[in-house]
Amino acid sequence: MSETQQILHLALPSPLRRRFDYLPPKDGENDSYLPGQRFRVPFGSRTLVGLLLEVSDHSDYPLAKLRHAEACLDLQPAVPPHLLKIGLWAASYYQHPVGDALCSFLPVLLRKGEKAEFAHQKLWVASVDQLPENGRSAPKQQQLFAELKAHPQGLSNDAITALGFSSGVIRALKEKQLVHQISRETAPPHSHQTDNLLLESPLVLNDEQASAVDAVASKLGQFQTFLLQGVTGSGKTEVYLQLIEKVLQRGRQALVLVPEIGLTPQTVGRFRQRFSVPVAVLHSGLNDRERLDAWLQAERGDASILIGTRSALLTPMQSPGIIIVDEEHDGSFKQQEGFRYSARDMAVIRARAESVPVVLGTATPSIESYYNAQLQRYHWLQIKQRAGNAKPPAFELLDIRQQPLEDGLSPPLLMEVRQQLEQGNQVLVFLNRRGFAPTLMCHDCGWQADCPQCDAHMTLHRQPAHLHCHHCDYQAPISLRCVKCGCTNLNPVGAGTERTEEALKRYFPKTDIIRIDRDSTRRKEAMKKLLDRVHDGGPCILVGTQMLAKGHHFPKVTLVAILDADAGLFSADFRGMEKMSQLILQVAGRSGRADRPGRVLMQTLHADHPRLRCLIDEGYNTFAEQELEDRKNAQLPPFIHLALIRAEAVAQGRAEAFLQMVRVMCEGLGINGVELLGPMPSPMEKRAGRYRAQLLLQSHDRRSLHQLCSQLTLMLEANKQAKKVRWSVDIDPLDMF
């Protein structure tokens, strides 16, 4: 070995919070390597694919103990340097093992060591210059051979069939060894054009939209965070589109993040309809190959626009010009397991690293973003008017304390629905609970069908009939007898979307009732088919969960009926109110988006609840101000920073005992200014057969909190007790359960 031995410091997919040192591949001792390149390495008896973080001439381990990497898999870094830096920052900020965090930046196929190339296609090419004079070929064979000569890049089987040749013709040529197959990377179409970008003309912006576009456009090429707060139907998408147009004119790419359920064909359609450039889409419904292709399109700059859910933020882009986070308040931007990052917060970090503006768009900002805008950390853009002729919907609280409810529907609500239908309008009925009923209860003794693995009731489903735990997915046939008293007097209690749908069918037998929830949209294309029925049809009733709340534009909907406005009013989660308000305004925003005025009817048992009143009488900003005031008084985020340590174990009490030990460890570290709350059992203690507990860490000083968490995680990694439970650290937790 030479004196200046190269040491490769790699991030490997491992739960350990450290780098792993290797010697370069044996046949590449003197090559130079770049951080971000992938390496295949031996690891125990397995091989793993890791990312190079750094090359140095020093290892903390004896050189003799280091193994050689097997191979370098990339010519260029798979994760470019600036993104690698963001990955390292995020691993450290979210207290997650670096190798595992960086894995999230790679599509699955690259994690498995596949080439960073588009799908390969088998193509036929001619093997000889011309057909031999002696071995006379049939005319069809001569024609096909001529075609292959005319297409030196090769022709696929499909292309050959399309040209009118049967498969026998190519086979005959092959047997004579006149043609052979090659495998070639087939890149999808790409474009670097900056003129003829538009397929349709942009709308004429109103003043508020125009000043939003101007404000952001004046910062292209620089970092700046914008909070674009536009009421529902204010035309935020048009603002995005016109901004993207300016970005494309500069030869740059746009990255658009949307919530999990907001990525409908309609959303993507609006971008594809406007621009002639390739639009790549990344979401959870893609297979591994499709994911890699979209990733490559963005990385090579072939796609000018990348639209995707959370993880799209981690995709390299050749020349990004803007990042847009639509519905920034949405919870799906925070990953709830493993690498618990917030794509919204990381969008700001990435925009800074790429020197581009980032636009956080929403009608109902998260309290955190609202606060940042108030403090002028974010540039606040507001659109208070709806676009076009649309007027804001009128809200009405419907006090159901004295009302007889049939399947959760009150008589005045039904009357209103009927009137709207008679006028040829569409109605949206919102209930954020799927299934037929949330519980099955014994009328005689009060027994309820519970999940054997969770502290939760089983939801009753009728289509198909079964009991289903929505927390662990456990399923069982519907009980016919009470387990406790043996009687057969079992009744569904409460209503979910299936029950509402059934009831509405009874009341409105001639009306098309369209249910949209996770169950009705499970099959591929199902959502699109249901939405087509809404868009093409006349009067109808849409029944659904929050899947209906986001992004959809239903011009014919004039009435939104919210069956249970109280869900969330008395939540144990300090964000309960915030989430409820956002959901109510989002759903309400589906109403009256075109020429016909919209109404929103909300059934409630708390018609005089001051916050509910405030929300509908004074609007979201007044609500947000009050919420901030409350959070300040109670010392909750954004006035304080949180880290939640969760643990779970099969044996009851073990997770809590473990966290008690963690608490003592924290105290032993002697870091000032971090308050420890707990341990306590999680609000739903038992879930999927495990008992769960949590310890909350809070501090005014982010640095102290960070210091404590990083020392603690290193200690826990080496701790024997910690191996007997599942534990995790959640920085800036969104869900406290």
Q: Which is nearer to Zn ion, 455 or 502 (CB)?
A: 455
Among ligand ADP, Zn ion, none, partner that 236 touches (CB below 5 to 8 angstroms by kind): ligand ADP
**Among 282, 365, 368, residue whose Cα is nearest residue 581:** 365
Contact predicate 327/359, CB 8 Å:
no
C-alpha–C-alpha distance, residues 520 and 509, integer Å: 20
Residue 608, SS3 per DSSP: coil
To the nearest whole angstrom, how small is the minimum distance from the Cβ of residue 520 to ligand ADP?
Answer: 23
Q: Among all residues, whose Cβ is closest to ligand ADP?
A: 235
CB distance 303 to 232 below 8 Å = no
Binds 150, which of ligand ADP, Zn ion, none (CB < 5 to 8 A, cut-off by type)?
Answer: none
| Tokens matching residue 655 | 């997770």
Q: Which residues contact 613 (CB under 8 A, 6 or more apart)?
A: 397
Q: Does 451 bind Zn ion (CB under 5 A)?
A: yes
Work out what residue 485 binds among Zn ion, ligand ADP, none; the CB cut-off runs from 5 to 8 Å by kind: Zn ion
Distance CA 428, CA 126 (A): 61
The two tokens of residue 390 are: 């649309």
- Residue 285 has a CB neighbour count (10 Å cut-off) of 10
Among 11, 442, 725, 731, contact with Zn ion (rule: CB under 5 A): 442
237, interface contact from Zn ion, ligand ADP, none, CB < 5-8 Å by kind: ligand ADP
Residue 449 found at the interface with Zn ion (CB under 5 A): no
Matching residue, tokens 């090429």: 221
174 touches 141 (CB < 8 A): no
Question: What is the nearest approach in angstroms of ligand ADP to the Cβ of residue 265?
Answer: 15
Q: Is 454 in the site for Zn ion (CB under 5 A)?
A: yes
Q: Which of residues 401-440 bind Zn ion (CB under 5 A)?
A: none
Q: Considering beta carbons, is residue 545 or 591 the nearer one to ligand ADP? A: 591
For Zn ion, give the closer residue by CB, 108 or 445: 445
Contact between 585 and 363 (Cβ < 8 Å): yes
Cβ-based neighbours of 560, under 8 Å, separated by 6 or more: 393, 427, 428, 430, 587, 588, 590, 591, 598, 599, 600, 601
CB 484 within 8 A of CB 442: yes
Residue 469 contacts which entry, ligand ADP, Zn ion, none (Cβ below 5-8 A, type-dependent): Zn ion
In the bound state with Zn ion, the residue whose beta carbon lies nearer, of 63 and 445, is 445
- When CB distances are held under 5 to 8 angstroms depending on the partner's kind, the choice from Zn ion, ligand ADP, none that residue 300 binds is none
User: Is residue 493 within the footprint of Zn ion (CB under 5 A)?
Assistant: no
CA-wise closest residue to 676 among 691, 692, 657, 659 = 659
Binding partner of residue 454 among Zn ion, ligand ADP, none, CB cut-off 5 to 8 Å per kind: Zn ion
Which positions from 221 to 250 touch ligand ADP by CB under 6 A, shown as an x/- string? Answer: ---------x-xxxxxxx------------
CA dist 415 and 411 (Å) reads 6
Selection from 480, 677, 659 nearest residue 574 by Cα: 677
Applying CB under 5 A, the span of 184-192, 296-304, 476-484, 663-671 interacting with Zn ion comes to 476-484
598 lines the binding site for ligand ADP (CB under 6 A): no
Quick one: 160 or 560, whose CB is closer to ligand ADP?
Answer: 560
| 3-class secondary-structure state, position 77 | coil
By DSSP bridging, strand 540-544 and strand 512-516 are: parallel
The verdict on 586 binding ligand ADP (CB under 6 A) reads: no
Write down the least CB distance from residue 491 to Zn ion, Å.
11
Residue 203 binds which of ligand ADP, Zn ion, none (CB < 5-8 A, kind-dependent): ligand ADP
- Name the residue nearer to Zn ion (CB basis): 444 or 717: 444
Choose the one of ligand ADP, Zn ion, none that binds residue 380, judging by a C-beta under 5 to 8 angstroms depending on kind: none
CA-based R_g, the chain, Å: 30
Question: Binding residues for ligand ADP, how many (CB under 6 A)?
Answer: 17
| 474 touches Zn ion (CB under 5 A) | yes
Does 190 contact ligand ADP by CB under 6 A? no
Determine if 206 is a binding residue for ligand ADP (CB under 6 A): yes
Give Cβ neighbours of residue 624 (< 8 Å, ≥ 6 apart). 365, 367, 370
Helix, strand, coil percent values for the chain (each to nearest 5): 35, 25, 40
What residues contact residue 237 under an 8 Å CB cut-off, 6+ apart?
270, 326
The pattern of x and - marking residues 549 through 578 that bind ligand ADP according to CB under 6 A reads ----x-------------------------
The C-alpha angle with vertex 261 and arms to 466 and 360, in degrees rounded to 5, equals: 150
- Candidates 88, 286, 472, 614: give the one binding Zn ion (CB under 5 A): 472
Judged by CB under 6 A, does residue 694 bind ligand ADP?
no
Q: Does 168 bind ligand ADP (CB under 6 A)?
A: no
Q: Is 205 in the site for ligand ADP (CB under 6 A)?
A: yes
User: Which residue in 247, 258, 387, 548 binds ligand ADP (CB under 6 A)?
Assistant: 387
Q: Which CB atom, from 474 or from 574, has the smaller least distance to Zn ion? A: 474
Give whichever of 9 and 236 is closer to ligand ADP, judged by the CB atom.
236
Q: Which is nearer to ligand ADP, 230 or 492 (CB)?
A: 230
Contact 297, 190 (CB under 8 A): yes
- Structure tokens, 487: 């009687």
Nearer to ligand ADP (CB atom), residue 209 or residue 420: 209
Residues with Cβ within 8 Å of 500's Cβ and at least 6 positions away in sequence, in order, are 407, 408, 409, 429, 431, 543, 563
3-state secondary structure 22-76: EECCHHHCCCCCCCCCEEEEEECCEEEEEEEEEEECCCCCCHHHCCECCEECCCC
Q: Can residue 210 be called a binding residue for ligand ADP (CB under 6 A)?
A: no
The minimum distance between CB 231 and ligand ADP, in angstroms, equals 7
Q: Which option in Zn ion, ligand ADP, none does residue 319 bind, with CB closer than 5 to 8 A by kind?
A: none
Which residues sit opposite 234 in a β-bridge? none
Q: Print the SS3 string covering 450-501.
A: ECCCCCCECEEEECCEEEECCCCCCEECCCCCCCCCCCCCEEEECCCHHHHH
Residue in 251, 388, 411, 446 binding ligand ADP, rule: CB under 6 A: 388
Q: Does 471 bind Zn ion (CB under 5 A)?
A: yes
Kindly tell me which residue out of 209, 224, 511, 713 binds ligand ADP, with binding defined by CB under 6 A: 209
Strand partners, 475: 468
Question: Distance between terminal CA atoms of the chain?
Answer: 54
Residues 6+ apart with CB under 8 A from 412: 398, 403, 601
Note whether 445 binds Zn ion by CB under 5 A. yes
- Please report how close the Cβ of residue 216 comes to ligand ADP at its closest, in angstroms: 15
Counting contacts by CB under 6 A, is residue 366 touching ligand ADP? Answer: no
648 binds ligand ADP (CB under 6 A): no
Cα gap 669→708, rounded to integer Å: 7
Using the rule CB under 6 A, give the single segment among 3-11, 203-211, 242-250, 512-520 that binds ligand ADP: 203-211
Binding positions for Zn ion, rule: CB under 5 A: 442, 444-445, 447, 451, 453-454, 469, 471-472, 474, 482, 484-485
Binding positions for ligand ADP, rule: CB under 6 A: 203-206, 209, 230, 232-238, 387-388, 553, 593
